[in-house]
Amino acid sequence: MHLNKKPVRAAETTGNAAGDTTTTEQEQADDNHIEIDDDSDSSYSAATNITDTQSLRTSILNYKWENGRRYHAYQDGAYWGPNDDRQQEAEDLMHEMYRIIMEDKLYAAPIGDNPQACRSTQLPLQTLTYFSAYPRRGLRYRHLGHLIVFSQFADEHSSAEVIGVDLSPIQPGFVPPNCKFEVDDINQEWTYPDNTYDFVHIRGMTGCIPDWVELHKKAYKSLKPGGWVEHVELWGIAKSDDGSLKSDSPAKKWVDVFKKIGEAIGKDFFTGHQAADFQREAGFENVYEKRLKVPIGPWPKDKKLKQWGAWNRQFLLQALEGFSIRGLTEMLGWSYDDAQVFLVDMRKELLNPQLHAYTDVTIIYGQKLHEQGHGGTSQSLA
C-alpha cells in the first residue's frame, strides 16, 4: 500500500506552541470580490446485483408518495429528499458541478496511487460504496452519496469490488462488473470491521447527519492507520459581496426556513464553519480545508467561475422543489399551495441577472495517523 504519510499543503503552514499546525487556503476569499460580467446570461442559459444488510424485502420497495414526489421506504424520513427521477437528475447535475470544480477529480485527499481500502460517504441519496481489497493492487473504498461517483471510481479501480449502499434500491441497471449494492443507513452502526479502509469519502450530506462528530468517529474507526477521510460539501447559505442579495429576499427566507426544518428533524443544514473541527474532534490529524466561492448563475466575468455558476444554478433550479417540499409541508405545516408560491419566488430570484450571489463549497480531508487518535496535527483552511 502506498499512502502519503505527509499531507499535501497548498499554503504556508504555521505552528503554535503546542505543536499544532494549520494550513490555510481559500480561493476567492471573503475579501476578494468576484468580478461581474454585465452580459452574463448571453450564452449560458447490465443487471444490478442487489444485496441488503437487512435483506431486500417488499417493504423496501413500497415507496412513499407525497405531493407528487417519491420517497424511500426503508428508514422512512431518515432522508428528507425524494428518490424519484427528477431528483436523480438534479444529483447528476450536482455531480457534474463537483467534477468541474474539482478539475475532473473524484477526490482531493492524497491517498496515494494504490490504496487497499477506501470508504466514501456522500449523500444525496445516501449511497454508500466501498471497494474490497485485492492483494497489492486492490482498493477498498467506502462511499455514501451519488450513484455516479462509485461507478466512476469502480471504472478507475477495476481490480476492486464496489458495494454501493443506499436507503433506496434505485441503482442503475448498467454498472461496472465490480459493483454491487446494499440497502442501509449510515447513521446506524457500521457493520464492518475496524481498521479496514484507506479512504472514507463524504459528500453532499448537509441536513442528513444528526451528529457529524459521531459520523467522523465511525469513519476514524473504520480507517487503517495512515488512511484518510475527505468531506466535500456545498452549503446552502447564499451570500453576496455587493449587496445584491437583499435582507428580505426569498433566498434569505429559505435559509431561515431550513434552520427551522433542521431543528425539527435534529439535523443541522448549516454547519460549514465547523466542518474541519468535526474531523479534529474525531481524532483526525493533518486536517486540510479548502473553501471556494461557487456563484449562483453565470454572472462572474471569469470564465471558470461563470461555468461553475451556470452548473450551480441549474442544479438548484432542478433540485429546489425536491429539497424543500417535504420540509415545508410535513415538518413546518405549510399548505402545498403556499409552498409552491414560495418556490416560484425562489426560482425568480435564482434567475435574476442582477443577483450576484454565491454559495460556499468546502473540501476538507484529514488523516488517521495512529491506532487511537488524540487530535494532534491539523490543517484548517480559513
CB of 229 within 8 A of CB of 366?
A: yes
The C-alpha cell 474539482 sits at 102
For position 89, what pLDDT does the model report?
82
| Phi, psi angles (nearest 5°) of residue 60 | -70, -30
| Phi, psi angles (nearest 5°) of residue 197 | -105, 155
For position 350, what pLDDT does the model report?
96
Q: Which three cell numbers stand for residue 238?
A: 447564499
Helix (H), strand (E) at residue 131: strand 128-132
For position 157, what pLDDT does the model report?
60
For position 242, what pLDDT does the model report?
95
For position 241, what pLDDT does the model report?
95
For position 351, what pLDDT does the model report?
97
Q: What is the mean pLDDT of each run of 10 residues along the chain (382 residues)?
A: 34 38 49 70 43 47 70 60 77 88 89 54 34 29 49 64 60 64 74 82 84 93 90 91 94 92 89 90 96 96 96 93 89 94 96 96 93 48 39
For position 206, what pLDDT does the model report?
85
For position 101, what pLDDT does the model report?
94
For position 39, what pLDDT does the model report?
66
DSSP state of 327: I
Domain limits, the chain: 46-367
Buried b (16+ CB within 10 A) or exposed e, 66-76: eeebbbbbbbe
The C-alpha cell 458541478 sits at 97
- The topology (CATH level 3) of 46-367 is Rossmann fold (3.40.50)
Residue 108's closest CA among 12, 1, 201, 21? 201
| CB < 8 Å & 24+ apart, contacts of 188-191 | 189/218, 190/218, 190/221, 190/222, 191/53
